[in-house]
Amino acid sequence: MQKFKMETYQNLVKDVGGVTAENLFMFLGKVQEAFGYVPREVVRDVAARTGFSETRIYGALTSYRDFKVRLECDD
């Protein structure tokens, strides 16, 4: 797990050959695995790439046990 960096994120985008509606869910899984959560910046970015609203993506993410939308503190 690493700290969120826009650069690392951009590399993930490159690795999957661009984010589309068809691979978004799988891609967000990779973001979650890389950073331990899906940051708001990412949601905003993939919303712009896919045309899905941020609201929809947020709503979706929060329905899964294995997705986090905030970095969880250890306390």
Partner 1 sequence: MKETKLLTRRVGKYEPLDLKGYEADGGLVALKRALAMGPESVIEEIKRAGLVGRGGAGFPTGPKWAMAAGEEQGPKYFICNAEEGELGTFKDKVLLDGDPWMVLEGILIAAYAIGAKQTYIYINGEYEQTIQLWEKLVVEARKAGFLGDGILGSKFSVNLQVVKGKGLYITGEEFALISSLETRRAASRLKPPYPTQKGLFGRPTVVNNVETIANVPVILANGVEAYRKLGVEGEPGTRLFSLSGAVKESGVYELEVGSGTLTEFIDEFGRGTSSGRPVKAVQPGGGTSALLARASLGCKLTTQAIRQAGSEIGTAGVIVYEEGSSAVDIVKGLLKFYGSESCGRCAPCRIGVVRMREIIEKVFQGEGTTEDLEQLRQIGKACVAASTCGMGQAFPLPVLSALELFPQDFEAVIENR
Partner 2 sequence: MKEVCLTIDGREVTVPEGTMILEAAKSVGIDIPNLCYDSRLKPAGTCRMCVVQIEGRPGLTISCNTPVAEGMEVCTDNDEIAAIRKTVLELLLSEHRVACTSCDKDGACKLQDYAYRYQANEGRFGLPERRPVKPNYATNNKAILYDPDRCILCGLCINYCEEVQKAEALTFGGRLGQLEVSTAFGIDLQESSCVLCGGCVEICPTGAMLDRAAIGKGREKDLTRTRTTCAYCGVGCQIDLNVNLKTNKIVRVTSEVGCIPNDGNLCVKGRFAMDFVASEKRLASPLIKRNGEFEKATWDEAINFIAERLTKIKTQNGPDSIAGLSSAKCTNEDNYIFQKFIRASIGTNNVDHCARLCHASTVAGLVRAFGSGAMTNSIDELKNAACIFVIGSNTSEAHPVIALNIKEAVAKNGAKLIVADPRQIDLVRFAELHLPQKPGTDVALINAMMNVIISEKLLDSDFINERTEGFDAMAEALKDFTPEKAEEITTVPAEKIRQAARIYAGALTASIVYSMGITQHTTGTDNVLSLANLSMLTGNVGKESTGVNPLRGQNNVQGACDLGALPNVYPGYQSVEDPQIRAKFEKAWAKELPPNKGLTVVEFFHAVETGDIKAIYIMGENPALSDPNLNRTRKALEMVDFLVVQDIFLSETAQYADVVLPSFCFAEKDGTFTNTERRVQRVRKAVTPPAGARNDWEIVCEVATKMGYQMQYDGAETIMNEIASITPIYGGISFDRIDSVGLQWPCTDKDHPGTKYLHKEKFTRGMGKFHPVEFKAPAESTDAKFPFVLSTGRQLYQFHTGTMTRKSAAINQVSPTGYVEIHIEDAGKLGIADGDSVEVVTRRGRVSTLAKVTRSIESGWLFMPFHFREGPANMLTIDALDPLAKIPEYKVCAAAIKKNS
Q: Does 4 bind partner 2 (CB under 8 A)?
A: no
* Own/partner pairs, 67-72, CB within 8 angstroms, 24+ separation: 67/28, 67/32, 67/37, 67/38, 68/32, 68/36, 68/37, 68/38, 69/37, 69/38, 69/40, 69/43, 70/37, 71/4, 71/35, 71/36, 71/37, 71/39, 72/36, 72/37
The one among 7, 17, 65, 73 contacting partner 1 by CB under 8 A: 65
Instruction: Give the footprint of partner 2 on this chain (CB under 8 A).
Output: 40, 43, 53-59, 62-63, 65, 69
Residues contributing to the site for partner 1 (CB under 8 A):
21-26, 28-29, 50, 52, 56-57, 59-60, 62-67
